Copies of this chain bind each other. A is one copy, B any other.
Amino acid sequence: MSEETSYNPRTGHIVAVIRHSSPSELTGRLSSAALAAPELAKTPPGKRATWLRAIADAMEEPSVCETLVALADAETALGEERLAAELVRTAGQLRFYAEVAEEGSFLGVTRDRAVEQAPQLSRMMVPLGPVAVFGASNFPFAFGVLGNDTASALASGCPVLAKAHPAHPQLSVALASVAHNALSDAGAPEGTFALVVGFEAGTTLVRSEDISAVAFTGSQRGGLALWKAATERPVPIPVFAEMGTVNPVVVTPSVTSLTDVARGFVGSFTLSAGQYCTKPGLLLAPRGREMASEVTRALQSADPQGWALTESIVRHVITGIDRLVESNARLVAQVAGPSYGWSVPATVLEVPLDSLQADGRLLEECFGPVALIAEYDDMAEVRALVPRLPGALAASVMTAGPEDPDTAGLVAALSTRVGRVAVDQWPTGVAFRWAQQHGGPWPATTRPASTSVGAAALERFVRPVAFQSVPDAALPPALQEANPWGLRRRVDGAVG
């Protein structure tokens, strides 16, 4: 196969055919990235910030924006309204990471003056080098070739080689072209950003000596395969894979009306046909309160309609539901999707709480509009279950309000298994902010100490270097006495 073919999920018809990168193109792009790496590393973060803003501005240019949204909708069927909002969000992300780069705390600049028993030491983060970015199908802008991973890698000073997503290769090419022109106009070195197309190209990146790190958003299968390949290299490199999980939601016994909870749950797990890595896949509700009936009513009344992003997702939803039923889950409600295209049924199943512990397959993600309900007798049962849940990106607690006596205990328990705990909000929706954490214990990510969204996302792509008794003029600018980059620094242990 030497081409990537994309389809319209509404029809299954071909939208575009994109030629795979040739071996010589790949070699050229890798060399360019390697040559650009030291240039980017020595560019002040404030300058790199202008490059990111240039990409953001270019994306939002009305005619560009319109074209990109139309391309995205043709290949993903996520709807022009949602996609237009996502494009604006993506421009916002690029500007946010620009701001974080400029602020400079991620460089961790630290200076210790010489003392009697120890020499002068300075320490700062330096960029790792070219990063391979594998974006997700479900957010073609926000987690795509110009999404959080690319933006934070560029902000941290690393060139990016992004792989076109097979579910939206045409959009990937268009976005790469926007970025390439914007970067070039803004004065960024050739090699700062490039696209590669094709599965083989992706494999080549992960194995290349010129690649220093991998960022991935998508399925467990894809992420773990990249992680394994990178781990088997002669010189292993970090893989920051953020993967879909079963994100648990606990409804406390004090919640009196489950009607609103049921509506919110349905809205969250069927959003964009359930194709969110933070989809609430498991709802734990107090026993005997008719949670299943409430959810059934909410589902039927919502009548969610949407398409799977790929034909393979359709198959996985169908086999995933079968697998859940084989594992003792009972189908309680199902609403068919659209009558044409890659339609998937919105599906709710119920399972006894003790089955969750006994059969690990119940806690494997089913990517699509599928969710489980389990009823508990008391908090002791929930507390016993939580440590057995696999690591997840997020969890929610639905409470009876600020005085709910179970909130603190559940937040604390869930925080041991996830990267983010929300109260009275659904796990879907990940704002790019300073305090964001989009990650979580294995297998939510291959690097639980990192985040793919938020200010700390930059920290993935740097490593520290210390300079001992190095004369001022031979130090990198960020460490020099005169502080030419104007950064906040820690000196002799005290933050300036």
Contact = CB atoms under 8 A, between A and B. Distances in A.
Taking each of A431, A448, A454, A474, which has the highest tally of chain B beta carbons within 10 Å of its own beta carbon?
A474
Nearest to A407: B474
Contact of A431 (B117, B408, B422): B117
Copies in the complex: 2
B122 A435 contact: yes
A495 B495 contact: yes
Given A435-B110, A464-B449, A411 B488 contact: no
Contacts of A421: 465-468, 470
A474 B423 CA distance: 10
Contacts of A328: none
A420 B463 contact: no
A111 interface: yes
Contacts of A123: 434-437, 454, 456
A442 interface: yes
Contacts of A475: 411
A236 B402 CA distance: 38
A112 to B, nearest CB: 4
A126 B468 CA distance: 31
Contact of A121 (B235, B435, B441, B467): B435
A361 interface: no
Interface in A457-473: 462-471, 473
Given A112-B435, A462-B449, A469-B425, A495 B490 contact: no
A441 to B, nearest CB: 8
Contact of A433 (B121, B415, B462): B121
Interface residues of A, number: 70
Contact of A471 (B231, B402, B442, B495): B402
A418 interface: yes
Contacts of A418: 465
Interface string A303-341: 000000000000000000000000000000000000000
A20 B471 CA distance: 51
Contacts of A187: none
Nearest to A99: B493
Given A425-B119, A464-B419, A464-B456, A470 B411 contact: yes
A123 B235 CA distance: 33
B465 A415 contact: yes
B118 A433 contact: yes
Contact of A488 (B391, B412, B420, B495): B495
Interface in A55-71: none
A465 B469 CA distance: 37
Interface string A284-295: 000000000000
A468 B235 contact: no
> Of A121, A443, A462, A468, which is in contact with the most chain B CB atoms at under 10 Å from its CB?
A468
Scoring A122, A431, A495 by chain B CB atoms within 10 A of each residue's CB, the highest score goes to: A431
Interface of A: 99, 103, 105, 108, 110-112, 117-119, 121-123, 126, 231, 235-236, 238, 391, 402, 407-408, 411-412, 415-416, 418-425, 431, 433-437, 439, 441-443, 446, 448-449, 451, 454-456, 462-471, 473-476, 488, 490, 492-493, 495
The 7 closest A-B pairs by CB, nearest first: A437-B466, A118-B431, A422-B468, A408-B474, A123-B435, A121-B435, A110-B435
